[in-house]
Structure 1
C-alpha cells in the first residue's frame, strides 16, 4: 500500500458500523427534541392536562407556549406571557447544563462510558415524561431528558471524529447530523401515527415512551464499541489504542497496517507534545490559538441557529393550525418537512469531503438568507388571506430554507466544530461550542411567540440581519480543514505539529513507513516520538 493510498484510505466496514452504532445517540437527541413538537399536535395531551389553546391566559398555556387558535400566528395578540417557561425552554436549558458536564465526563472516564451514562439519563427522562401525572412532573422529565440529550449530542461527534480516517471524516461525522434529523423525522411520523390512536392518553404517552428506544439500543450495543484510540493514548493505554486502530483501518490492501501505524505515530507524538497545553476553558481562552477556535466554533453554532430554522421546526405544527390546517394535516406536513431535512443532511455527509466545510457552510448561510427573505415577503403579503398561490410559495420557501440548512449547514457545523480542537481539549471545546447552539435555541424558542404577537413577520428581520453580518465574518476567519488529520489541523491555527504527514515528500513518507513496518507494538513508536521531541528541544535551544 503506497503512501498516497494510505492518505486516501476510506475506512473499513467495521469502522462504518461503529460510526452508525454510536449515531444512535444522535438519533436519540433528534427524536427527544422533536417529540414535544409532535405532542403539541395530539388532542389527548391537551385534554389530559386541561389545556386550552384558545385561552391564552391559562397557566398551562403559558407553560407550553400556547397561543389563541383563531388568529394568525404572525399577527395574533396574546394577553399572557406566552412561552415564558415553555417545555422547549426546559429541554434546551437542561441540555445547556448537560453539554458542559459531558466534557468532564468524557475526559475523565472515556468516550464510551460517557455515552453509556448519558443514554441512561435520557431513558430516565423519557420514563418520567411518559408517566407524568401533572405538569410539574412532565417538566422535570423534560429537563432531565434535555440534560441527557445535551450530553449525548456533544459526545457522539467527539467519538466519531476520533475514530474516522482523515479522508472520510466528513462523511463519517456527518452521520451525526443525518441521524439527528432522522430522529426529528421519525418523531414527526410517530406523532402522525399516534394521532389516530383512539385512546387519548395512549396518544401522547406512547410517543413520549418511544424516546427510550434509541438510547437503550446504544446501551446494549456499547460493550462491543471500542474506546477512542486518541483518548487511550492520552491516558497512556498505548497497546489498546494500537489494537483498536488496526481494527478500524485494516483492509486487504493494507496488510501491514500502515494506516494504523502512521496514525498511532502521529497521535502519540502530538498528544505527548500537547500534555502541557491548556485543557480547561479558562486556560484555553488565555491562549490565542485556542481562543480563536472557541470563538469560531461558538459563533458558528449560534449562526447556524440564527438562520430561523429552529423557530420554524419547533413551531410549525401550531403555525399550520393558524394557517387553517387542522386535525392530522399539520402533523403530516411536519413529518414530510423533517424527512426532507434528513435527506438533505445525508447529502451533506456524502459530499463534504469533496467540497469542503467552509464552502458548503457559506453557500448554506447565503441560501438561507435568500429563502428566509422570500418567506418573509410571502408572509407579509399573503398571511391571513385566501390567496393559495401566495401561501403556496410561502410553504415552498420554508422547505427551501431547510433544504439549504440541511444540505450545507447542519451536519457540517458539527463536523467543523469537532475537528478543530486538539484531542486533550476536544470535549471541552465542543461542549463550549454547543452552548452557542443551545443559547440560540433557548432565546429564539422563548421569544418567538411573544415576538410574533407584537411584531409579526418582522421578527424574521432579526435572523436576516444576523446572517448578513455573520456570513462574511465566518468565511473570512474560518480555515478549511478537509483532508487533514485531526493532529494536522493544529497548523491552521498557528500551533505546531510534530508529525505532519500531509506535507511529507513521497521519499520521506516511504522511509517512515519502512521504519514503522519494522516495529512490533507501540514501544518503538514511543521511542521514536521521544527522539523527535528531544531534537525539537535541541533546535529550540
Structure 2
C-alpha cells in the first residue's frame, strides 16, 4: 500500500482548518449564552416573564445557523464538480469569514439571527467539502486516519471555542466577554484563505476534467514513498483511478439519476441514515445547550462554562483516537459500537436527570455529568469521525460531492428539528426530551448493524464492488497474474509505447 508522505499529511492537516472553521463557529455560540453580558446587551432573561421569549430566540438563532449550514451543504452538490475542490474550499472560507465578521458586529437579536444564517452557509460548505477533498487525496490504507482529520479539526474548533469562552467569562468588559469569542471565528477562515493557493487540487477531479498531466504530478507528490524509488504503487493507484473515471464518465451524472440507480440509491440511504443517526443521538443539542444542562444540574457562575470546556476536551481527545484506530478496527464495527454506547449512556442520563435534576442531591447530579462524559466518549471514538469518513468514501468520484451534500443537508435538517425546540423543551418537559435521543440511537444501531458494509482498506474505486457496480481495476482481489499484467501495461505506457502522462513523453 502507498505510504503516507509528509507532504500528504501536511496538506490534510492544513485543509482540516476548514472543518475547524465550522467547529468553532458552531460551538462558540454555546459559550455566548453562558455570559451575563450577552443577556444584558440584548435585554434577555432566562427567568421571569421574558424567559419564553429568550428561549425562542436562542432556538431561532441556532435553527437559522443550521438552516444556513443545510443550504451551504446542498450547494456542494454542484460547486466542487464545476469549479473544483480547491476553489470550493476557498469560496467556503470567504463566506465563513464574511459571516463571522457580521456576527461579531451584530447589534440586535434580529440581526444576529440573520447573520448567523449567512455564517451557517459558509461553514456548512466548509464541513461538507472537507471530507470529500480529504478522502480523494488519501491512500487507501491510511484513508481513515487522514480523512478522519476532518472530525479532529471539527472538535478542535469546539475545544478552542469552549476555552476562549471560559477565559473571557472573567473579562471586566461584559460585552467583550461574549463579542470577542464571536470575532475570533474570523481567524481560521482567514488563515485558510491565505494558505490555500499552495494546496493541490484533487487528482481525481483533474482526471475527470481531462487534466491527467497535472493529476499525475499531484498524485506522485502526494504519495511519494522513499522505499519505492520507482513510484510503482503511486503509478498503480493513478492507473486505477484513471481507468475507473474513464469508465464512470459514461454514466448519467444528474442528481435524479442517483435516486433512480439502485446502487447509488443504496448509498444515499446509507450515508444519509448514518449522518442523521449521528445527529439524532443528541450530540449537537448536548453541545449547544450544555451550559443550560449544567445549570439544571445545580452548577452556577463560571462552573457550567468550565464543565463544558472539559467536556469538549474529552470529545476532542477521543476523536484523535478514532482517527488512529479507524483503519484497523473498520468503519462498521465502530459505528455499531458507537450507536449502542450512546443508547446506553443516554438512557442512564435520562433516568438520572429525571430523578436528580433541579435537586440538591450532589451525588445524583455528579452521576448525570459523568454519563454526559461517557456519552461523548462513545460518540467521539466511534461515530463522529467515522460517519464523515464513511459517507464520503462510499460514493464514486463523479457523485461524491453530490452524495456528501445530500448527507449533510439531511444532517442539518435534523439539527434544526432538534435544536429549535431544545431550549423550550428542556425548560418545559425536562428529561422526557432525552427519550427522543435514546430511541433514535437504538434505531441507528439496528439499521447500521443490518445494512452497513465495511469499506476499510479498499481504494475508493474498489468500494464500488460492495454496491454491485463495476470496478475496472481491482487491486485488492486481483490475482498475481492479473497484477503482473497491469504492471506491464503501466510500464509500457511509462516507456512511451502508449500516450500516457505518467512520463508525458509524447506531449513534450
- Structure 2 distance, partners of 1:402, 1:297, is 21
* TM-score normalised by the chain length of structure 1: 0.90
2:228 alignment partner in structure 1: 254
CA distance in 1, matches of 2:495, 2:417: 52
Distance in 1, matches of 2:483 and 2:369, equals 54
Q: Equivalent residues in 2 for 1:244-393 (5 A)?
A: 244-393=218-367
Match of 2:408 among 420, 428, 434: 434
How far did 1:59 drift?
8.1
Output the CA distance in 2 between the equivalents of 1:329 and 1:247: 49
Instruction: Please say if 1:487 is aligned against 2:480.
Output: no
Question: Contact (CA 8 Å) 1:301, 1:437: kept in 2 or not?
Answer: yes
Q: Which moved more, 1:232-241 or 1:127-136?
A: 127-136
Give the secondary-structure state (helix, strand or coil) at the position aligned to 1:503.
Answer: coil
Which range moves more in the overlay, 382-391 or 491-500?
382-391
Are 2:493 and 1:519 aligned? yes
Kept in 2: contact 1:163–1:248 (CA 8 A): yes
Equivalent residue in structure 2 for 1:221, among 162, 171, 195: 195
- Please tell me whether residue 98 in structure 1 is matched to residue 68 in structure 2: no
The TM-score, its normalising length taken from structure 2, stands at 0.95
Stretch of structure 1 that moved more, 324-333 or 27-36? 324-333
Partner of 1:73: none
2:46 pairs with 1:53:
yes
State the match for 1:402 in structure 2: 376
Query: Which string of whole-angstrom CA distances, capped at 9 and with x for unpartnered residues, describes residues 448-507 of structure 1?
Result: 233334432122222222222231221111110001000000000010111111111233
For 1:90 and 1:522, locate their aligned partners in 2 and report how far apart those are by CA, in whole Å.
Answer: 57
SS at match of 2:200: coil
Taking a change above 3 Å as real, the CA distance of residues 504 and 328 of structure 1, as seen in their structure-2 partners, is same
Question: What's 2:437 paired with?
Answer: 463
Name 2:95's counterpart in structure 1.
Answer: 121
Aligned-pair RMSD on alpha carbons?
A: 1.8
Partner of 1:414: 388
SS in 1 for 2:360: coil
Contact 2:213 2:501 in 1 (8 A): no
Q: Check the 8 A contact 1:239/1:521 in 2, yes or no.
A: no
Residues 303, 470 of structure 1: 8 Å contact kept: yes
SS at match of 1:197: coil
Length, aligned pairs only: 502
Within a 5 Å distance, the mapping from 1:440-459 to structure 2 comes to 440-459=414-433
Contact preservation (8 Å) 1:238, 1:522: no
CA distance change for structure 1 residues 322 and 525 in 2, over 3 Å: closer, same or farther? farther
Residue 140 of structure 1, CA deviation = 2.0
Is 1:19 matched up with 2:26? no
Cα offsets for 1:332-389 (capped at 9, x unmatched): 1101101110111110000000000000010010011111111111112222222211
State the alpha-carbon separation in 1 of the partners of residues 144 and 6 from structure 2: 16
Gaps of 5+ in 1: 1-6, 66-82, 529-541
User: What SS does the aligned partner of 1:25 have?
Assistant: helix
Cα distance in 2 for partners of 1:475, 1:323 equals 35
Aligned partners of 2:95, 2:34: CA distance in 1, in Å?
Answer: 26
CA distance in 1, matches of 2:14, 2:349: 38
Partner SS state of residue 458, structure 2: coil
* Deviations 1:417-476, CA, capped at 9 Å, x for gaps: 000000010000000011221111111111223333443212222222222223122111
In structure 2, stretches of 5+ residues that fail to align are 503-508
In 1, Cα distance between the equivalents of 2:472 and 2:181?
Answer: 51
User: Which residue matches 1:168?
Assistant: 142
Q: CA deviation at 1:63?
A: 4.6
Change (3 A) 1:505 1:472: same
Aligned to 2:505: none
